[in-house]
Structure 1
Amino acid sequence: MALGTNTGGGGVGAGTEVPALSGAPLLGSLHDLKSDSLGTYLRAQQRHGDVVRVSAGPPGMRADLYCVFSPEGVQQVLASEAANFRKDNAFYQEVRESFGNGLLTSQDEDYLRQRRLVQPLFTRRRVDGYAGAVAAETASVVTAWEEALDGVVDVSDEMTHLALRAVARILFGTDVEATAEVVARCFPVITEYVLRRGYSPANIPRSWPTPGNRRAAAAMDELYGVCDRIIGQRRRAGADASGEDLLTLLAAARSPDDGGFDAAELRDQVLIFLLAGHETTATSLCFALHLLARHPEQQDRAREEITRVLGGRPAQARDLERLPYLSQVVKEAMRLYPAAPVIGRKAVAATRIGGHAVPAGADVILAPWVTHRRPEHWPDPDRFDPERFTPEAEAGRPRYAWFPFGGGPRACIGQHFSMLESVVALAMILRAYSFEAVDTEIPVGAGITLRTEGPARCRIRRLDGPVGPR
């Protein structure tokens, strides 16, 4: 998570002092956050409880991060007091400057206007119409695996490829080939740049011609260029456009009160959808497959359900409710490996969380990675157990014990799409292949989204039956 400026000043109000995680005398927990932020936050909770202050950076530039780990505290930040916690920290500013002011990063009236224009395009009925694009891209991947060297695939790389092509097809329709290759090449350069600046206590201006700035600028220019070209084509087509891809629908979105998106705003939405729409789902698919590869009994149970429900036909949107165990597998994968493992906000006014005083201007950290492992809500928390997500089990937990899609007024607009894509893709993949883990443990780290820091290889074996749509 990004570091900001010192949060001194402002009224604090009544409340006990927030316990602090001990760190190095000079840099506090800066090294720990850079090398293993997820482990640092988990250690902070285990040692000090629901609200913990983590300090990082040299004197004069030190940041105090107020970490909130309880479901009740998370609900306060994301929902009941959401207006007091804004996306004003340094990390979101870096994302905003690189990927635009779309739904993920915009605030206030900008966000409300964008949400009103975009919401009709993410109704359940509209999203269900994207299942065919997901199925088509999944079928291509599954067919390609027949040529896998030694029957081994890296599910991290493969699911990133699948999710990117699926979201590019949904966004751009027939222009998928032109965009997917550019995104795959440019996104890693830009995201590393955002992370490096987000973790730094101080940054040089982006305009300075350093090698890092120039590499990032070149990647952004190429990415923006391909988006602008396709957007220009759609806008010139105007009323004659007949496509049903999401970009065409975004270009046509308008209302008497909100108008429509101009070309720059369209690009911002597209870039955010590309970022949030492929990296998050790729993470869920990767870890769902890898967890099943390590747990053959659960893999067999999921496949039995898939075979019973689908028979030989392609997976469809209506199958989401007919595959409850597979949906539980996805949710449990999201619990153990949330695509957004850390969420940041900045407090506008002083408040209390869990009885602790949080000052105005404080950088507030929520960590699904930690909250999803609270043993009072998740017994034996590191164990993979899809039964945790039966309707009865879900009803017995606090609402924010599990929040992979955020929550409150800024909950992810694409959460139904993410679940639909994950279930459709997994159903087709598991019907075609069995999986056995080659790499039994996968090191992970917190980037803009959760990312693997090593291979996630599985040995696959082709099963009898259809691969995908005919």
Structure 2
Amino acid sequence: MATAGTGTGTGSDTGTGRGRPVPVLAGSPLLGSLSELTSDALGTYLRAHRELGDVVRISAGPPGLRQDLYCVFSAEGAQQVLASESANFRKDNPFYQEIRDSFGNGLLTSQDADYLRQRRLVQPLFTRRRVDGYAAAVAAETRTTLAAWERVPGGVVDVSEAMMQLALRAVARILFGTDVETTVDVVDRCFPVITEYVLRRGYSPVNIPRTWPTPGNRRAAEALEELYGVCDRIIAERRSGGEDAQGEDLLGLLSAASSSEDGAFDAAELRDQVLIFLLAGHETTATSLAYSLHLLALHPEQQALAREEVARVLGDREPEAADLERLPYLTRVLKEAMRLYPAAPVIGRNSVAATEIGGYAVPGGANVILAPWVTHRHPRYWPDPERFDPDRFTPEAEADRPRYAWFPFGGGPRACIGQHFSMLESVISLAVLLRAYEFEAVDRDVPLSAGITLRTHGTLRCRVRGVAG
């Protein structure tokens, strides 16, 4: 349930860190590397690392509006930013502010005392035991996907779209219980409008006020009004029904969450948490599922190994939470897909004080960029990095790598609270799908870009055939 933060920082310099000057990626005199970042940010980060190393400064924008991105590509640097010096790197860039303005000040975007209070209230809802109880709901939604595929003409499905629907329905059912249908329809219609709006404003060096009646502002405002409305209605109905209406879905648990120290969430805070969970909880998992199927479709031998494991472990019974430990090869497939296609390919922070990363001086007020997309391909940690190899994630292989060579869920004190849920949902869904269908790739190369999450441009089609017997 991690998401990317890729906006530009303030660029203000509150001091110069010790260490060598950071090498600068060559760009045009007028716009720096703005055109390259706009057209292919992921490729630009890869080129910066290949040409200049583990810490690179990328300048983008016209004179007077130019921003400097301090890009950190090593596992050790990622650990410093996310964990060992996390207090010095905050979510203060305009991109996160745009997410706050649209999706609320929930766990993904809140900071300081707000974040600590929210985390304490929410943490008991994401214990392993509690999350394991959602396995049956995930399996049920996956069976709904299987039933829909029986009616697909020619057996060709866009797994990107299908996994987005599956993940959305699963997280909405877990959040809202019986209110899932209306919620899914509204989220499916409104989220694309809002996320596109956030991206456009997050990447722009200058934005007009949201209150100006431009077509883009009006479309986003209408989508937000509809989205807020359905969440507020469900929350109000739950609260008006008293304790008997709370239920065991996540909204009911959030409504009941309280402590003597932190109080409880009011209605607006509940909506913020719900919207952030919807945002972070379905797009990231959908990406991991879609690319797991895509990679298996491209690699029949590994697909056969994963299916054999599923058949041996599950037989004809429904998967359960304990199967996460019984399906090690399928879990390795998922982790390798998350390495090659991290749902949050870029993570943004803003430095508070000057520091040194990898021997280079990073000033205070700098926009610091971590790129799992690059670190997950770093040849020091990943030999032949573009090759799909699930056995990179055997226990022995994992023990030999730095902790932050692979960080699809972020890390440190702000690590994704939903990472166990995401892994559980993904492994169970993949097991149900692979037991029923074989996958053959139709689309082999699909253009990608970094948005709030990894974005696929075009279809990601597979031909599906029922498994014999």
> TM-score, with normalisation over the residues of structure 2?
0.98
User: C-alpha distance in 1, partners of 2:8/2:347?
Assistant: 13
Residue 298 of structure 1 and its aligned partner are, at CA, apart by: 0.2
What's the CA shift string for 1:314-353, capped at 9, x where partnerless? Answer: 1111100000000000000000000000000000000000
Q: Decide which of 435, 444, 447 is 2:448's aligned counterpart.
A: 444
Match of 2:225 in 1: 221
SS at match of 2:242: helix
Q: Deviations over 1:15-34 (max 9, x none)?
A: 10000001111111111111
- Tell me if the contact between 2:98 and 2:198 (Cα under 8 Å) persists in the aligned partners: yes
| Among 457, 463, 466, the residue aligned to 2:467 | 463
Shift of 1:238: 2.3
Q: Structure 2: which 5+ residue stretches go unaligned?
A: 1-5
Structure 1 segments, 4+ long, off by >4 Å, are none
1:254 matched to which residue of 2? 258
Give the Cα–Cα distance (whole angstroms) in 1 for the partners of residues 339 and 310 of structure 2: 22
- Deviation of 1:240 after TM superposition, in Å, equals 2.0
Q: Look up the equivalent residue of 1:5 and give its one-letter code.
A: T
| CA–CA separation in structure 1 for the residues paired with 2:246 and 2:274 | 19
Equivalent residue, structure 2, for 1:24: 28
Residue 317 (1) aligns with residue 286 (2): no
Question: Which of 3, 6, 16 is matched with 2:8 structurally?
Answer: 3
Paired AA for residue 364 in structure 2: A
> Once the 2 structures are TM-superposed, how far is the Cα of residue 241 of structure 1 from its aligned partner?
2.4
* 1:260-299 C-alpha deviation (Å, 9 max, x unpaired): 0000000000000000000000000000000000000000
Q: CA deviation at 1:451?
A: 1.2
Residue among 267, 292, 296 paired with 2:296: 292
Contact 1:5 1:61 in 2 (8 A): no
Q: Does 1:185 align with 2:189?
A: yes
Q: 2-side partners of 1:72 and 1:3: how far apart?
A: 23
Instruction: Confirm or deny: 8 A CA contact 1:5 1:62 kept in the other structure.
Output: no
Q: TM-score, normalised by structure 1?
A: 0.98
For residue 264 of structure 1, what is the aligned residue in structure 2? 268
Q: Match for 2:54 among 44, 50, 54?
A: 50
Match for 2:332: what amino acid?
A: Q
From 199, 202, 217, the equivalent of 1:195 is 199
SS of equivalent to 1:147: coil
Pairwise CA distance, 1:376: 1.4
Asked if 1:33 is matched to 2:31, the reply is no
The partner residue of 1:233 within 220, 237, 258 is 237
Residue 411 of structure 1 corresponds to 415
CA contact (8 A) 2:356 2:362 kept: yes
Q: Deviations over 1:335-381 (max 9, x none)?
A: 00000000000000000001110001000000000000001110110
Number of matched residues?
464
* Alignment partners' CA distance in 2, 1:243 and 1:280: 26
**Equivalent position of 1:468 in the other structure:** none
Deviation digits for residues 376-421 of structure 1 (CA, Å, limit 9, x no counterpart)? 1101100000000000000000000000000000000000000000
Q: After TM superposition, give the deviation of residue 242 of structure 1 in Å.
A: 5.0
* 1:80 equivalent among 64, 78, 84: 84
- Asked whether the equivalents of residues 133 and 169 of structure 1 are also in contact (C-alpha less than 8 Å), the reply is yes
Identity of paired residues, percent? 76
Counterpart in the other structure of 1:330 = 334
User: Would you say the 8 A contact 1:334–1:404 is kept in 2?
Assistant: yes
Deviation at 1:5, TM superposition (A): 3.3
Contact 2:283 2:453 in 1 (8 A): yes
* Cα offsets for 1:107-163 (capped at 9, x unmatched): 000000000000000000000001111001000001110111111000000000000
Give the corresponding residue for 1:275. 279
Rounded Cα–Cα distance in structure 2 between residues aligned with 1:415 and 1:335: 15
Structure 1 residues 231-256: Cα deviation after superposition (integer angstroms, max 9, x where no partner): 10111122222511100000000000
Task: Pick from 60, 69, 73 the counterpart of residue 69 of structure 1.
Answer: 73
- Helix, strand or coil at the partner of 2:329: helix
Residue 97, structure 1, aligned to residue 101, structure 2: yes
Supply the RMSD in Å over aligned alpha carbons: 0.8
How many Å separate the matches in 1 of 2:8 and 2:382?
Answer: 30
Verify: 1:139 aligned to 2:158, yes or no.
Answer: no
| 1:454 positional shift | 1.3
Aligned twin of 1:210: 214
Counterpart in the other structure of 2:116 = 112
Q: 1:231 to 1:299 in 2, by over 3 A?
A: same
Contact kept, 8 Å, 1:169 with 1:175, in 2: the verdict is: yes
